[in-house]
Structure 1
């Protein structure tokens, strides 16, 4: 059985939400085909499908992407088997007071984290925190090191758009508020900076 989700023209995170609902309603072995009209929506739907251990194939037709998702006996309600620790970074500086000092503290925090033995499962960046993942950020080396060690780094697409930084993202990938919320709720522990 095939279900089609036409998510063309829908704003983030609606394509992910509609796809997840269709997958939850589908019987094992069925297929959902989600149609989107931009790369960010394509990538977010693919990430959702993979996080649910579904088979995924992407087909481009003109400017549209047809994402074929096959459920293979995995419950569609589980986001991750090992959510672990998550750090939510809400700004490009740490603490209140001097902006210059706050930027130095954030850079030092990320460098210390990258060199530490205990690392989080995910780093989620929202608001001005997304600037840390972009071209020119003094924290890039630390973030790249964390990513190489297996830390998933996700930046809010709406925030990147707001700061006009989407094309300057250098580490991690773009996500949406729905996925951020799912990761926060599924985490064993969340630290907010």
Structure 2
């Protein structure tokens, strides 16, 4: 069994390196030691996507992930991930890199962003993913004026994802109210594979 220790690294490093190891050793079980919950969740999602069954146990101050390949899926899934997807999938991604829309008066920009996100509820089809980066994470955390709208979008199948590193920087990870935590690797991947990326 391949043993990996990324407990001293923050995301996206554990995700990127785990993916490399899975690609280099298709069908082989792995253990991955990570230092925080965000890394645990992100590596688990990657493993599931690549045809592995992740099992997490606490280990000291971190988490030990045991990744076991699914017998019927590991080879085909690993092979499909060996070549990056370059063709657009038809998906739409909304990228919120700020809690404001456009440039100019900051307060007015925040009003515009609130209007933009609430108006998304009226769109058909809905976007597939809404990413929140840098000060944009203020929109998914405690005190945001659009929590209800984002919660409705999530309940209708839209993936609401906030940058974990950004939540840490602004010390708001424990204030996340809607959606999930993501990492830079996944955010870049989602945008590269999308048919369109919209930045309000």
C-alpha contact (below 8 Å) 1:52/1:78 kept by paired residues: no
For the structure 1 residues 82 and 21, does the alpha-carbon distance in structure 2 shift closer, same or farther, using more than 3 Å as the test?
same
- Whole-Å Cα distance in 2 between the matches of residues 63 and 83 of structure 1? 41
- Report the secondary structure of 2:127's partner residue: coil
Please provide the CA RMSD for this pair: 1.9
- Whole-Å Cα distance in 2 between the matches of residues 169 and 18 of structure 1? 27
User: Is 1:33 aligned with 2:37?
Assistant: no
Where does residue 112 of structure 2 map in the other structure?
105
Q: TM-score w.r.t. structure 1 length?
A: 0.91
Question: Unpaired segments of 5 or more residues in structure 2?
Answer: none
User: Is 1:171 aligned with 2:178?
Assistant: yes
- Whole-Å Cα distance in 2 between the matches of residues 93 and 52 of structure 1? 36
Pick the aligned partner of 2:124 from 117, 141, 153: 117
C-alpha contact (below 8 Å) 1:79/1:182 kept by paired residues: no
Where does residue 54 of structure 1 map in the other structure?
52
- Whole-Å Cα distance in 2 between the matches of residues 107 and 79 of structure 1? 35
User: Is 1:93 aligned with 2:92?
Assistant: no
The alignment covers a number of residue pairs equal to 191
- Whole-Å Cα distance in 2 between the matches of residues 183 and 83 of structure 1? 12
Pick the aligned partner of 2:137 from 127, 130, 135: 130
- Whole-Å Cα distance in 1 between the matches of residues 122 and 83 of structure 2? 31
Question: Unpaired segments of 5 or more residues in structure 1?
Answer: none
Where does residue 145 of structure 1 map in the other structure?
152
Runs (4 or more) in structure 1 with deviation over 3 Å come to 76-83
Where does residue 22 of structure 1 map in the other structure?
21
Pick the aligned partner of 1:190 from 176, 190, 197: 197
For 1:84-111, what per-residue CA distance to the aligned partner results, in whole angstroms no more than 9, with x for missing partners?
Answer: 1111111101111121211111111111
